Structure 1
Amino acid sequence: MTEKNQTPITDKQRTAIFAVLLAACIAGAFAQTSLTTALPAIMTSLDISAVLGNWLTSGFSLAMGVIIPATAFMMKRFNTKPLFLTGLALFAGGLLLAAVSHSFPLLMTARII
């Protein structure tokens, strides 16, 4: 379904949109589950306890628990495409920040982003 004054979406565009959404969902699921295997190495590298290390997975899950219901509200307020691109940019920025972080607070912030 298209909005007023917009051209209809072609089959090629629909396929591209689906592919991008699928890739984003897979990346999000991977980001949520992959930390459990890396947690022992992260705990050693950052010299943190298991309890503190588990906050990395919990913080991500808590952030997702807040964002998912808020998405319905934001989709009513903003156009879907810019909203999705903003979310994808924040995810990529958080991923990059997590990759270069050398301390627990910075890694925790990156995981929440």
Structure 2
Amino acid sequence: NLETVDCYNPKVVQATMGSITRVNVSYLNLTDFLKTTHMPIFGAFMEGDNIYKSQLPNKGILVLGNEANGISREIEQVITTKISIPRFGQLQSTESLNVATAAAILLSEFRRSER
């Protein structure tokens, strides 16, 4: 896919802290894959449902967009549930989180719901 970075890009390899060697990497057309899956597809959006108040399944797919542009319109059309990490504090002015930080928070909440 020309819209993403290669998983063996030096910055990607460095960011994984060596974990890239422990996962299977597959290249596929994401839109086609998401259209054929039977699992729920969760997308991280600023206007999504509060993750802390959501009923989360044991299995599903989590889609996060890049920090500058978010999730593409094409992928957004196949997402079954929009979720978000709520803003806290009086100002409510935070625009977005770093995608790695957001992924950690969201995945932690999915894992916590398994208990």
TM-score by length of 1: 0.27
Per residue, is there more strand in 1 or in 2? Answer: 2
Per residue, is there more helix in 1 or in 2? Answer: 1
TM-score by length of 2: 0.26
